């Protein structure tokens, strides 16, 4: 993720524990070298890395604190709080894409299951596999809310109205609220499907128990008939 368009040679690197890295004022070739170094210290590698570019233009003569544009923002100055706000939004945006792809894959799984049930009328997924899908959906939603802090306002934005303007502009620019609503809706679809298929598995288990009970009753009747007939001398 590329950061700042400016004549300054000052560079910044912001690394988040959920896997996002934000680079300010690095060239493309330098960016790959830095990411290779960071990957050596990571515990988990992302198979589908995604990057995004965003320009930050520093203009000390700017009348207001910041001025937004398409894929860029003009700032009066670049300080620590501005860096925190910009990097947090960019990191959340890229990470949300990653988690969105995971949810899309789960939705596809249930879509295929529903299509098979529509054609065959049977459900073939094992209980353990369904539980793994449930766990993936739950951990994905928890990561987005807790690790990304997507629903939390920046501390700087709480304390200062100027930073709040920048924070709100960037969230709107990257449509974080709308994308999270779409993400949450897909998770609800997954949860609805999970409840349905769990009921199918439960009914299947209930049917199996019913047949076992019927078999045991039939066996008991046969044993009783045998004893009666044997006692009466028929056998």
Instruction: Quick: pLDDT tens for 100-152.
Output: 998 999 889 888 888 887 888 776 777 778 778 878 888 888 888 888 888 88
Task: Check residue 3 and give its pLDDT.
Answer: 44
What is the predicted pLDDT for the residue at 223? Answer: 58
Residue 214 falls within a domain, yes or no?
A: yes
* Residue 74, domain member (yes or no): yes
Q: 5 in a domain, yes or no?
A: no
Count of structural domains, the chain: 1
CB–CB of 58/6 below 8 Å? yes
Q: Does residue 87 fall inside a structural domain?
A: yes
CA distances in angstroms from 92 to 26, 45, 50, listed in the order given = 20, 18, 12
pLDDT at residue 142, rounded to an integer: 85
pLDDT for position 2: 44
Is residue 7 one of the residues assigned to a domain? Answer: no
Burial grade of 3 (CB within 10 A; 0-12, 13-18, 19 or more): buried
> For residue 214, what pLDDT is reported?
57
198 occurs within a structural domain: yes
Non-local (6+) Cβ contacts of 45 within 8 A are: 39
Q: What pLDDT sits at residue 6?
A: 45
Residues of the chain predicted below pLDDT 70: 1-9, 44-49, 123, 203-235
In this prediction the pTM is 0.74
Structural domain for 95, as ranges: 12-231
In a domain, 4, yes or no: no
The verdict on residue 2 lying in a domain is no
Q: What are phi and psi of 71, to 5 degrees?
A: 60, 25
User: In angstroms, rounded to a whole number, what is the distance separating the alpha carbons of residues 14 and 23?
Assistant: 7
């Amino acid at each position: 993720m590329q950061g700042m368009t400016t004549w300054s040679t000052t560079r910044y690197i912001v690394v988040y524990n959920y896997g996002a890295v934000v680079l300010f004022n690095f060239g493309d070739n330098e960016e790959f070298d830095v990411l290779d170094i960071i990957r050596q210290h990571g515990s988990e590698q992302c198979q589908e890395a995604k990057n995004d570019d965003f320009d930050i233009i520093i203009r000390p003569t700017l009348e207001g604190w910041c001025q937004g544009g398409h894929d860029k923002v003009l700032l009066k100055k670049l300080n620590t709080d501005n860096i925190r706000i910009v990097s947090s939004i960019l990191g959340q945006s890229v990470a949300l894409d990653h988690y969105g792809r995971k949810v899309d894959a789960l939705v596809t799984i249930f879509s295929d299951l529903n299509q098979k049930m529509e054609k065959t009328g049977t459900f073939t997924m094992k209980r353990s596999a369904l539980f793994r899908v449930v766990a993936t959906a739950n951990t994905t939603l928890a990561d987005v809310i807790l690790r990304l802090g997507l629903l939390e306002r920046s501390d700087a934005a709480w304390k200062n109205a100027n930073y709040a303007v920048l924070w709100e502009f960037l969230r709107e620019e990257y449509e974080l609220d709308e994308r999270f609503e779409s993400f949450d809706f897909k998770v609800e679809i997954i949860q609805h499907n999970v409840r349905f298929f769990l009921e199918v598995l439960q009914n299947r288990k209930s049917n199996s128990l019913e047949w076992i009970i019927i078999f045991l009753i039939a066996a008991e009747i046969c044993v009783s008939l045998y004893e009666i007939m044997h006692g009466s001398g028929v056998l």
